[in-house]
Amino acid sequence: MKKIIIILVAILVLIGFVILITNNYDLTTKDGRIDFAKSYVSWFEKSVKNSVNVIGYAIKLDWLPKN
């Protein structure tokens, strides 16, 4: 369980760096930090929504073999 948490935190930090570098946010200014936070939260919301959609689709599939 500890390894999973470490991996998840590492992924979230990596995504943060990708967002930061891609959009050239200046974290030394208040506006830069706010814009970065908005982008990060937006990415996180989209990721959760997409995960829910994928899981919902997988649940609806017929997983039993045909006789």
Confidence of residue 65 (pLDDT cuts 50, 70, 90): confident
- C-alpha dihedral, 21 to 24 to 28 to 33, nearest 10°: -90
Predicted confidence (pLDDT) at residue 67 exceeds the cutoff of 80 = no
Distance CA 6, CA 12 (A): 10
pLDDT at 55 over 90: yes
Helix (H) or strand (E) holding 31: helix 30-60
pLDDT, tens digit, 9 for 90 and up, residues 7-44: 999 999 999 999 999 999 999 999 999 999 999 999 99
User: What is the model's pTM?
Assistant: 0.78
Predicted confidence at residue 64, as pLDDT, reads: 87
Question: What amino acid is encoded at 9 in this protein?
Answer: V
Q: By the 8 A CB rule, do 36 and 43 touch?
A: no
